[in-house]
Structure 1
Amino acid sequence: MEDGNTEIQQSYNPKAQNKTLIVVVGPTAIGKTALAIKLAQFYQIEIISADSRQFFKEMHIGTAKPSNEELATAPHHFINSHSIQTLFSTGDFESQALQLMDELFKKHKVLIMVGGSGLYIDAVCKGLDDLPEIDLSIREALNEKLATEGIESIKKQLQESDPEYYEKVDQSNPQRMIRGLEVVLSTGKKLSSFLTAKKKQRPFQIIKIGLNMDRALLYDRINHRVDLMMEAGLLEEAKLLLPHRQYNALNTVGYSELFDYFDDKTDLASAVAMIKQNTRRFAKRQLTWFRRDENTAWFEPNQVEDIIEHLNAQLQTPNAKLN
């Protein structure tokens, strides 16, 4: 960090701390990656990504991954770690991330997790509930409905069956919505009801930092980032991935809309406009999810020194209730 932060850095004593996970959350395009890198450099520690789209090595521009230059500034994990052809569930992330953290905590007292995927964050911080067995014939029927009637029919049915899960889920991802429906149809219980059990105890403290800003400014940033993605070659990237569109990883904002363009369902300008609109909607749902946690301390992206002061105050009180 710059010399202006020397006084802050001198107040941090990593040898006196218990194992701690700093979690940086917030909506897409808010600046989570930039903050995580600054914190990783400041504390000389490593970053764990909890972005469910940045896992996949075939998807680059549309997932707003850190650049090669950014990746070189601090060790990152779970970036380009899996193929879109690999089934990688939230439960897989929970187990693999905890195993990795167990190793990293042997080198560092503090780690950083950053991402906008609320369910993945919760999986590590709170643990997942054991979900029920699913009637596979119901899954097949829902996939057939998706193929014949389209995603809107799935969205409508999920909204009616489990409105709580509907508000949380990525509504451009049909497989995530089908997951909610198949639980309701198989068990008669909402998937959201399985996501509210008592959280599991973790062998580390958790400090949560949330980033937010004026809504209009955030939406401007989102729109601008989509324009930059298009300039960087998102259309060409989506075209290369078109033969693999059957994989669940590609049922997501930024790719689905361009696949519709390739299918002659819309023109390019409308597809880009839909990417912006769906991304703004996604950002709103992300904020709704993260605001549920009263233990998250909220800042604006430019308040880096305030964030570090807050973290140092927490890190110096390892017996405080941080999660």
Structure 2
Amino acid sequence: MPQKTLIVVVGPTAIGKTALAIKLAQFYDTEIISADSRQFFKEMAIGTAKPSAEELAAAPHHFINSHHITQLFSTGDFEVEALQLMDMLFSEKEVLIMVGGSGLYINAICNGLDELPEIDLGIREKLNQQFELEGIAPIRQQLATLDPEYFAKVDQSNPQRMIRGLEVILSSGKKLSSFLTAHKKERPFHIIKIGLNTDRAKLYEQINLRVDLMMQQGLLAEVKSLEDHKHYNALNTVGYSELFDFLAGQTTLEHAIEKIKQNTRRFAKRQLTWFRKDTEIQWFEPNETEAIIKYINQQIAH
């Protein structure tokens, strides 16, 4: 029996991963698994650039609007739940599409995670209190000192991820980065990795335009509606934290929007740094759909 195939579409934010994933899902008559750590959450739509209603209708999607911001949903949880779902979908489909810019979540499916150590909940609570009182800077500094390898990979504007790295090393004495270089687990399917990228100036222009579009679509109103929940880790993220600062009177709206653009550009740069280390990824421009399908078909034929 021919082996089942998972096509993984990765790349920086605003590059066009969703559009390509839908084209591939339609071409291969299959379904899409989202590996975007922010699109899981029902309450966050505009600021996470979630697929539109039309896009969601164009191909079946999974792990979009699947959780509430009040729920903890770790990389390990995603690995378990996504593999179970894929096992079920592969009983009917030869090919599945996974798409996202969250490197840890992609890595969990392609390579697997090691069992992480037990966390001292007192340490977690202390770190969360420190973040509440002192902000992100001391957390960032401490992680950079104690686990520079993980710090280089992590979304440095995401306190939840950085606190995770700190609580592992403070609880176990071992760096989280040492668990993420796990022995690669064998998967019962073939993996083909497609990376999208373009000229940096063009990408940054797309990011800036996307942020302007989000504001037109009502991002400020979305953030305002979530103000009572801003202490949840899911909302300590680009596009939300900057506007919470505006609502708290700490900055102007104009400055908050500029910060969203700047932080999103920085995030895209870190995403590219992460994905470029993966030699299995074949890179294309976003509009090269025919060349991408040709490459995938050649890989499947092998």
TM-score range, shorter chain: over 0.9
2:34 touches 2:63 (CA, 8 Å); kept in 1? yes
Deviation at 1:316, TM superposition (A): 1.0
> In structure 1, what is the Cα distance between the partners aligned to 2:3 and 2:29?
16
Q: Would you say 1:130 and 2:115 are equivalent positions?
A: yes
Give the alignment's TM-score, normalised by structure 1.
Answer: 0.92
Q: Does 1:147 align with 2:147?
A: no
The whole-number CA distance in structure 2 between the counterparts of 1:156 and 1:62 is 27
Cα deviation code 1:130-166 (max 9, x no counterpart): 1111222222221222122111111111111111111
| Match runs of 1:77-92 below 5 Å | 77-92=62-77
Output aligned runs, 1:1-323, within 5 Å. Answer: 17-317=2-302
- Give the length in aligned residue pairs: 302
Classify the secondary structure of the residue corresponding to 1:220.
helix
SS at the partner of 1:59? coil
Contact 2:158 2:236 in 1 (8 A): yes
Judge conservation of contact 1:170–1:176 (CA < 8 Å) in 2: yes
Instruction: Choose 1 or 2 for highest CA Rg.
Output: 1
| Contact persistence 2:123–2:171 (CA under 8 A) | yes
**How far, CA to CA, are the matches of 2:263 and 2:27 in structure 1?**
35
Deviation at 1:169, TM superposition (A): 1.2
Equivalent position amino acid for 2:201 in 1:
A
Q: Which amino acid is 2:6 matched to?
A: L
Q: Deviations over 1:5-31 (max 9, x none)?
A: xxxxxxxxxxx8420000000000000
**Distance (Å, rounded) in 2 between the aligned partners of 1:157 and 1:74:** 43
CA contact under 8 A between 1:17 and 1:315: conserved in structure 2?
Answer: no
Q: Structure 2, unaligned stretches of length 5 or more?
A: none
RMSD (CA atoms): 1.0
Q: Deviations over 1:165-197 (max 9, x none)?
A: 112112121121111111222222211111112
TM-score by length of 2: 0.98
| Partner-residue secondary structure (3-state), 1:284 | helix
Distance of 1:273 and 1:17 partners within structure 2: 50
**Amino acid aligned to 1:18:** Q
